[in-house]
Amino acid sequence: MSAPLTIIGSGMAGIGLLKQLRMLDADCPVTLITADSGDDYSKPLLSTGFAKRLAPEKLAARSALEVAAQLGAVVRTHTRVDAIDVQERCLHIGEERLAYGELVLATGAAPSAPFTIPEALGGRVFSINDLDDYRDFHTALEAFGQRARVVIIGAGLVGCEFANDLAAGGHRVSLVAPEQAPLPRLLPEPLGRALGEAFAAAGISLRLGRGVERLERVGSDVGVALDDGSQLEADLVLVATGLRPRIELAQAAGLAAGPTGIQVDRYLRTSAPGIHALGDVACVAGVNAMYVQPLQASAKVLARTLAGSPTQVSYGAWPVLVKTTLLPVVALPPLQTPARWRVEGEGGDLVAFAEDVDERLLGFALTGACVKRKVELARATPPLLG
Ligand code: FAD
């Protein structure tokens, strides 16, 4: 019997690909290997669960067992692939050698922190990047009751969404980041400030323009020492300082990869024959968008390719909807640095146009009531990957 198509990773990219493939080919043997629990869940929901007090079980659409039964695959959970042998076309899992037919890397991106997290703070300092992390943080939060003091480090999409969600859930939230305004990679400063004002009005304490020097135990609290000499005391700390594509497996196997991800072409082919990549780990023709719509488009075309009809992926002008209910935000950041950001509107209802020197629209950002302009503006913006 020939070796199965093997997918590493059970996030939205890995399971999404398996679902798409099953629509085209009900029978081809597939093995899905994942380091985590293998539950089928929507990652964006992780940062909406605390306001609604959702238990982790509520976030999983189906278990790994159900994925295996319903999508006809061998699913191996809590199994970490240690290495890829490109010559022998097999994976190393501990002492085991597992042959693959075609291989798909959907290993996602891992949280990265610019400071050391002391081991002694285990159980008090978290990152939430999958359902298992959500489970752990949820349990820790329950132990501190209704009004836990949570310091969130990092004011990007993940940090801002958790700040909003935990504050809506009744917790006392502080948000620390070195930038002057939230969402620095998605919003020009005036819109970021508007979001900061909405956060402050809801009782979130903002410590912007401040770096974290160290985390330490202070009595029964976690101390977060800032670079202005001040210190915050917390029950729990959530680190949201960015995600890095998990390229180690690919890089060690000699595949072309770098800080933006595993390099793939528009067929999602890596530099090694028979190996594809998609999702947060993949840099597709120079673009690693790291959000859901691009990975869904990739899953669709890769399923066609694997089913025998090679198809290239394209990405539209797909804005990101940030789930900050205190002030809704939609953004389509420009791929290149704009000549200027032109801002219109007042209060929290703002539109920012990213324009080149000839006033052509390269991207945009919207807050408050102006988010309703997302479709109109997306139509006027160039695609991410046309
Ligand atoms: P992952 O979900 O990270 O999956 C990677 C998989 O690979 C995991 O199963 C892991 O166990 C496995 N793995 C890794 N290494 C190995 C190994 N060596 N061996 C075996 N298995 C391995 N995007 C949006 O578009 N809209 C949103 O509103 C939004 N909200 C978000 C909110 C949060 C809190 C976060 C963290 C992200 C959000 N995103 C959002 C981004 C989006 O969720 C991600 O782009 C997407 O889920 C990435 O999926 P993935 O399958 O590529 O990676």
d(C-alpha 183, C-alpha 336), whole Å = 17
Domain that holds residue 16: 5-110+243-306
Q: What is the CATH number of the domain that holds 351?
A: 3.30.390.120
Half-sphere exposure of 106 (CA within 13 A, CB side): 28
Region class of 84: left (phi > 0), else alpha (psi between -120 and 50), else beta: beta
How close is the Cα of 278 to the center of ligand 1, in Å?
11
Selection from 38, 105, 24 nearest residue 69 by Cα: 38
Asked, for residue 52, whether it belongs to a domain, the answer is: yes
Crossing angle for the helix pair 189-201 and 157-168, to the nearest 10 degrees: 20
Residues 122 and 70 grouped into a single domain:
no
Asked, for residue 261, whether it belongs to a domain, the answer is: yes
Q: What is the CATH number of the domain that holds 227?
A: 3.50.50.60
How close is the Cα of 361 to the center of ligand 1, in Å?
30
Last residue of a domain, one of 189, 220, 239: 239
- Average per-residue pLDDT in the chain? 97
With cut-offs at 50, 70 and 90, classify the pLDDT of residue 145.
confident
Judged against a pLDDT cut of 70, whether residue 309 lies above it is answered with: yes
Distances (CA, A) of 307 to 20, 41, 184, 273: 10, 25, 41, 16
What is the arithmetic mean of pLDDT over 167-178?
97
186 residue type, one letter: L
Distances (CA, A) of 227 to 124, 210, 218, 232, 317: 21, 6, 17, 11, 39
pLDDT value of position 1? 67
d(C-alpha 134, C-alpha 344), whole Å = 38
Residues 123 and 235 grouped into a single domain:
yes
Asked, for residue 286, whether it belongs to a domain, the answer is: yes
d(C-alpha 165, C-alpha 151), whole Å = 13
297 residue type, one letter: A
pLDDT value of position 206? 98
98 neighbors 5 (Cβ within 8 angstroms): no
Looking at residue 3, what DSSP letter applies? P
Looking at residue 73, what DSSP letter applies? -
pLDDT value of position 146? 87
d(C-alpha 74, C-alpha 243), whole Å = 29
Ranges of H-type helices in the chain: 12-24, 56-59, 64-71, 131-143, 157-168, 189-201, 248-252, 292-306, 374-379
Residues 157 and 223 grouped into a single domain:
yes
Selection from 25, 117, 15 nearest residue 307 by Cα: 25
CA 384 to chain centre: 18
The 10s digit of each residue's pLDDT in 73-128 is 999 999 999 999 999 999 999 999 999 999 999 999 999 999 889 988 989 999 99
User: What is the token pair recorded at 3?
Assistant: 């070796």
Q: Which atom of ligand 1 is nearest to the CA of 130?
A: 2
Residues 106 and 122 grouped into a single domain:
no
The label of the residue with tokens 């804005």 reads 319
239 residue type, one letter: V
pLDDT value of position 190? 97
Residues 169 and 231 grouped into a single domain:
yes
Residues 226 and 249 grouped into a single domain:
no
Structural domain count, the chain: 3
Give residues (CB < 6 A) around ligand 1. Answer: 8-14, 33-36, 43-44, 46-47, 80-81, 106-109, 128-129, 158, 161, 246, 249, 279-280, 290-292, 295, 320, 323
How close is the Cα of 81 to the center of ligand 1, in Å?
17
47 neighbors 167 (Cβ within 8 angstroms): no
Choice from 33, 107, 371 to test ligand 1 binding pocket (greatest atom count within 8 A of CB)? 107
pTM, entire model:
0.96
pLDDT value of position 152? 98
Residues 106 and 117 grouped into a single domain:
no
Choice from 291, 296, 320, 384 to test ligand 1 binding pocket (greatest atom count within 8 A of CB)? 291
343 sits in which H/E element:
strand 340-346
d(C-alpha 100, C-alpha 2), whole Å = 9
113 residue type, one letter: A
Residues 17 and 103 grouped into a single domain:
yes
Share of the chain above pLDDT 90, in %: 96
- Strands of 50-111 (E only): list them: 60-62, 74-76, 83-85, 90-93, 96-99, 103-105, 109-111
